[in-house]
Amino acid sequence: MQTDYVVGQDNIEGRLGPIGFDIHNRVFVVSAIASVVFIVLTLLFPERAESVFQAVVSFATGTLDGYFMLLVDFFILFCIALVVLPYGSIRLGGPDARPEHGYLSWFAMLFTAGIGIGLLFFSVLEPVYHANVSLPLGVASPFGADGQLNPEAIPAATALGLAGTFLHWGIHGWAVYVVMALALALFTYNKGLPFSIRSAFFPILGERVWGWWGHVIDILAVFSTLFGLATALGLGAQQANAGMNFVFGIDISTVFQVIVILLVTAVALVSVWRGLEGGVKKLSEINMVVAVGFFFFVLFAGPTLVGLKGFWSGLSSYVTEFIPLSAPFGRDDDAYRQAWSVFYWAWWVSWAPFVGMFIARVSRGRTVREFVLCVLLIPSLFIFIWMGVFGGIALEQLYADPDNSLVKEYVIDDYSPELSLFGMLNELPLTGLMSTVGIVLALVFFVTSSDSGSLVIDTITAGGKIDAPRPQRMFWATVEGLVAVVLLLGGGLAALQAGVTATAIPFSIVMLLMCYSIVKALNGELRHRRRRT
């Protein structure tokens, strides 16, 4: 693809005292000003903001539910086509490119950037809630209308509760990431265009992509990333606060959660300053080791066979019910499909610019087939094992003694999702110690998500440069924390969900157009290879 555009040609470089800057004069300014305006208005008018947030969530989950489900189903089919067609043999970076990171480091960075806090927040909450409250595909609840437990309903509810959880964290979401990451990798490494979202639209817009059309695309990507990250950071702060309440008796309050966000953002600033190799990569590897140790403690300290059975039961049901769970029509399980699945698809789309750019940045040298299969399957399998074990053990605790189960209290009776993990840990040995480890994991996931996102937003707002001055990354890390704070103050979980869905609606259209660009780029690579041979 021929263009005279030079990376950073529209940038403004200079210094403000000791602070250097190198920014895209339109994308950075519009994104920064709009972010500050949003923060100020939400703080000044919290009640009005909360009503707007709730209206956005209702529209996205109630009116656009079928659209979001068909969208993500299409991405899965698109990924399958990339694997089975000749496109799969194309190498990201050209035929002579080789991977820059080994498999272990690559998987660790995929895992911590793409999942983060959600793995801890939802691993107990979702299986228990879906098996007893939201009830995917209309399965009967083990607790009847009189509140009494019906043992005969337990196996089916457990299997579908776990399968419903796997749906939200499996290949549907990772297919969204594949589309974004592959587009960025192809147009950057193979076509020599700037490392920016707009570059993927060169086949559609041509040279106009460097003008306002491209500016709008990149600005949408900035906001999508900001609100997707803010949702994760807000959930992480709620869970850290809940854990500290569970272990140390600290009150659960929005004020304390704001303090947690500000403190962890300060730590993230240090990691951002150290960059990809010295910050994100090291934290990702450390967090992976701690997470694996935490997982094996729960597996072996709890009823091991029950945990393994939970994984296998959930996986079997996930495979057999994959199509019914993915279908948007002919269903009456709105509590599950709209309130959960549609929100998740919007969240994955919202995270796509952030995670997609990060995955593309660390995946040079992989073939398209290797890239698609590994990104789809490796993280999904790890998540299935994790959530199958945690969810299976939590469900066993619930059904064994429902009258005294903290899991039942936190998830079913008095909905407190941030406490669900600690309710499960309460019935295992070393409760206080392992609850503390869970808090630390949540906080470190918090940091890795924040600094990974800051690197990505900085790249977008620096016109595709990946070596912009460090203070710019620190600016965006600070803005991420502040957006999370104002969303918590402006309506809590509903506001966090609204931020995600509001940005995912327009950005989903951007991602559909990306699929066309990917096919155009891959066809060009095949033609080039045939000419060489």
**pLDDT tens-digit map of 82-124:** 999 999 999 998 888 888 878 777 777 776 655 667 788 899 9
**pLDDT at 74 (0 to 100):** 97
Q: CA–CA separation, 321 vs 310, rounded Å?
A: 16
Q: CA–CA separation, 288 vs 104, rounded Å?
A: 10
**pLDDT at 184 (0 to 100):** 92
**pLDDT at 277 (0 to 100):** 55
**pLDDT at 491 (0 to 100):** 64
CA-nearest of 522, 514, 465 to 195 is: 465
**pLDDT at 113 (0 to 100):** 58
**pLDDT at 441 (0 to 100):** 84
Q: Residue 109 is encoded by which pair of tokens?
A: 């960075």
Residues of the chain with pLDDT under 50: none
The number of beta carbons lying within 10 Å of the beta carbon of residue 527 is: 10
pLDDT digits (tens, 9 = 90+) for 468-478: 777 887 888 88
Q: CA–CA separation, 424 vs 396, rounded Å?
A: 10
Q: CA–CA separation, 268 vs 454, rounded Å?
A: 9
**pLDDT at 514 (0 to 100):** 95
Domain boundaries, the chain: 11-528
Does pTM surpass 0.85? yes
**pLDDT at 493 (0 to 100):** 61
CATH architecture of 11-528: Up-down Bundle (1.20)
Q: CA–CA separation, 106 vs 371, rounded Å?
A: 11
